[in-house]
Amino acid sequence: MTGNQSIRGSVDKIDPDQLTIVPLRHPWRWVAVALVLVSVAAMIRSAISNPEFQWPIVAQYLFNPLILDGLWKTLLITVVVMILATLGGTFAALMMLSPSKLLSVPAAVFVWFFRGTPALVQLIIWYNLSIVVKDFTLWLPGIGTLYSVSTNDIMTPLVSAIVALSLHESGYMAEIVRSGLRSVNKGQYEASACLGMKPSLALRRIVLPQAMRIIIPPTGNETINLLKTTSLVSIIAVGDLLYSAQSIYARTFETIPLLLVVSFWYLAVVSIMSVGQFYLERHFSRDEHRNNIGLTKAILGNLAKIGRKEALA
């Protein structure tokens, strides 16, 4: 304040070319950086020196056939559930957007129910379906029973897991697809109608590709979330990644190393998925960037930006 006032009279005498502009310094940021570095070093030291981590055992089980078999099952459940949930969610979203209350209300109730109850609870309910429904029967009036099968024969642990998680995930996907479809301007529907496009063609060629930009990022998150949620199926004895590890350490008591193996695989799959998500997002926003940059450049570019900022501080 006082400094500025004293200048007022002598502004004419200052040569702007002779002035140096000093950016704001952030000394506390360097203190924070030091603290973070020390903690990271301590963690790495502990991980290396503490024998309880049993790294040789981790390495030994990393490619164990039982573990790989569990990983395969985890991936299978994730992929099948995500496909079913995307189909179910899109269907529910289209129903919710229908002008007819007879379609939109049931869809909203479906979403409300399956999004509102915990995945674990739904999993156990479907696993125990035979308590409520003894068998599935196709019965036609006048003809009688055509086909009948016991519930326990159909609802194996794997099928129960897929049904339960698909319905649960459909609820989330419905909301994601709905917000994507609503994000597309009404004029796009009208323009495609005026060019003679049927509603189904307009949806496929004009509306969905634009909605994808809104739909893909949260769907990527959902897929990553689902991959980890599938570990719940170990509770109904589906031999997924976690269940396989549990069955080994129940015998050998090498609990921590096996859970590290499990974490390694989950992290590896999530990393691969993130790369896939990056390319999908880029594909659907290709009109926004004339020169698309690659993944490594995107990561390195961000690091360089952070580095430059820190160096200035």
Partner 1 sequence: MTAPRTHHSRFGIASTTMVHAKGIRKSYGHLEVLKGVDLTVPSGSVACIIGPSGSGKSTFLRCINHLEEINAGLMLVDGDFVGYRLEGNKLYELPPSAICQRRAEIGMVFQQFNLFPHMTVLENLIEAPVRVKREPVAQATAKAIDLLQRVGLAEKRDSYPRQLSGGQQQRVAIARALAMNPKVLLFDEPTSALDPELVGEVLEVMKSLAREGITMVVVTHEIGFAREVADQLVFMDGGVVVESGNPREMIANPQSPRTREFLARVL
Rg (CA), the chain: 28
Tell me: does residue 279 bind partner 1 (CB under 8 A).
Answer: no
Nearest approach, Cβ of residue 209 and partner 1 (Å): 5
Given the complex with partner 1, which of 197 and 256 has the nearer CB atom? 197
Least distance from partner 1 to the Cβ atom of residue 223, Å? 23
Residue type, 256: I
Classify each residue of 159-186 as buried b or exposed e, where b means 16 or more C-beta atoms within 10 Å of its C-beta. ebbbbbbbbbbbbbbbbbbbebbeebee
Residue 217 interacts with partner 1 (CB under 8 A)? no
Q: Is 280 in the site for partner 1 (CB under 8 A)?
A: no
**HEC letters along 294-311:** CHHHHHHHHHHHHHHHHH
Return the number of the residue (110 or 284) whose C-beta is nearest partner 1. Answer: 284
Per CB under 8 A, 294 contacts partner 1: no
What is the rounded CA–CA span in Å between residue 165 and residue 159?
Answer: 10
Residue of 97, 108, 197, 235 interacting with partner 1 (CB under 8 A): 197
Q: Is 194 in the site for partner 1 (CB under 8 A)?
A: yes
Residue 117 near partner 1 by CB under 8 A: no
Asked if residue 288 binds partner 1 (CB under 8 A), the reply is yes
Q: Are 245 and 67 in contact (CB under 8 A)?
A: yes
Contacts (CB under 8 A) with partner 1, residues 169-188: 185, 187-188
> Which ranges of the chain does DSSP label H, i.e. alpha helix?
2-7, 27-49, 55-62, 65-96, 101-116, 119-127, 129-132, 151-154, 157-182, 186-194, 199-202, 208-229, 241-252, 255-284, 295-312
Query: Cα(313)–Cα(155) distance, rounded to whole angstroms?
Result: 61
Give the one residue of 45, 182, 198, 308 binding partner 1; rule: CB under 8 A. Answer: 198
Q: Site residues for partner 1, window 29-88 (CB under 8 A)?
A: none
DSSP-based three-state secondary structure for 82 = helix
* 201 touching partner 1, by CB under 8 A: yes
Stretch that binds partner 1, among 38-46, 74-82, 204-212, 232-240 (CB under 8 A): 204-212
Binding letters toward partner 1, positions 235-274, x by CB under 8 A: ----------------------------------------
Q: Applying CB under 8 A, which of residues 59, 79, 195, 306 lies at the interface with partner 1?
A: 195
Binding residue (CB under 8 A) for partner 1 from 191, 268, 272, 312: 191
In terms of Cβ atoms closer than 10 Å to its own Cβ (0-12, 13-18, 19+), residue 261 is buried
CB–CB of 269/228 below 8 Å?
A: no
Number of residues that bind partner 1 (CB under 8 A): 23
Q: How far is the CB of 187 from partner 1 (least distance, A)?
A: 4
Residues contacting residue 80 through CB under 8 Å, at least 6 positions apart: 162, 166
Q: How far is the CB of 293 from partner 1 (least distance, A)?
A: 17
Q: Give contact residues for partner 1 (rule: CB under 8 A).
A: 185, 187-188, 190-199, 201, 205-206, 209-210, 284, 286-288, 290
